[in-house]
Amino acid sequence: VLVGQASEKTLWLMGIFWAAPILLDVIKKNSLMNVLVVVICILLFQSQWGVTQFVLQEDLGMNILGESKLSADEVGVAKFSMGKIFNDGEGGSRKIVRAYGPFNHPNSMGGVLTIGFLLSCMASLYFGGSNGCDNRGLPLFINVAEPVILLGAVLTFSRAAYLANVLGGLIFLLVVFSNKLLGGGRRLRNKDVFYKMLILSLIVVSLSPLVFYRFIDSEDVALPERQAGWRWAVGIIKENGLWLGSGIGQYSVALKDYLDRKGVVYESWQIDYVHNIPLLIVVEWGAVMGFVLALGCGVLVFKRYGRVWWWLIPLIPLLVLDHYFLTQLYPLVVLSLYLVVLGYWPGRKKRFS
């Protein structure tokens, strides 16, 4: 497994899955709360970074920390058109730069902040009730962090992140009103739930005009690009057969060879990972190994996650509509932490562990 571009990611993944359980077991009994607070703090900072970029419509000059150069006039920057109603003063439609944070693309930030939103929802269920928490400052911190992280995710204008956050919000409400899907939590009072949903709804409603223009942007080519990428990936799989894969980290090479053989005209920027992690794994690992991996994941979910497997559902649109959780190191680390935290969540079994 430790070959080529996969080696660094695999080492990180192995390190997290070995280190996190040890930390969660040997630190004091509220270690899970500490892990959550640290992760939420980091994502809260990155969300504020993205919000500031959106307000200024430019980068903050922190290129040394990996920030991209942002401007509405910059070539290659992810932006969308506001239509002919809002012009730029030169006869064209005004462009809105999406929030990047410290990432190289807003979709990556949207996915990572979605995990932050899910963690904050789970934390508010377990630690955030005003009707009984030993640390009185913790509910306040969580209830402040939750809408700020969601705001950052909304301003990335990632449609996959939107769908994932909607699913996460629905699961949150389902858990609140059933109190069965996530055991071990404190039942939130109706007043707490009302204020929380009111604030989150105000964020979404206030930004709905921008979201509307993002969805109807006539210059957007994301969907056709993804559809073409999916077709090419399926074509490579058919050529490879059931057993053969292109090799870990070799998707771009395999795609270029496939398009050249088929005589497909393409641009250089189209030689990129397919925006679908299951397809990417099958292309690189082979159909049989992909099936074995999926079977192993299913067994893990059944055995390890118990009643909290519902919180894996919001990940589906992020995994099937993009690739960054597998191909970029930091999103992979955050996803791994989320899976570890979920695997140690109180009440995942019928009895407390």
Task: Decide: 113 and 47 in contact? Cβ < 8 Å.
Answer: yes
* Confidence (pLDDT) at 5: 41
Length of the chain as a residue count: 353
* Confidence (pLDDT) at 353: 34
158: its two tokens: 């990632």
152: its two tokens: 């950052």
* Confidence (pLDDT) at 2: 34
- Write out residues in the chain with pLDDT < 70, as ranges: 1-31, 83-92, 127-137, 179-190, 347-353
| Beta-sheet strands, E only, within 82-194 | 95-97
* Confidence (pLDDT) at 55: 92
Distances (CA, A) of 345 to 115, 124, 216, 329: 15, 13, 40, 24
* Confidence (pLDDT) at 333: 86
pLDDT tens figures, 250-280: 899 999 999 999 888 888 888 999 999 999 9
* Confidence (pLDDT) at 28: 46
185: its two tokens: 């939590």
Which residue in 242, 231, 338 sits closest to 291, CA to CA?
242
The backbone torsions φ and ψ at residue 80, rounded to the nearest 5 degrees and listed phi first, read -135, 160
286: its two tokens: 């082979």
pLDDT tens figures, 162-195: 999 999 999 888 887 775 544 444 556 667 777 7
* Confidence (pLDDT) at 351: 43
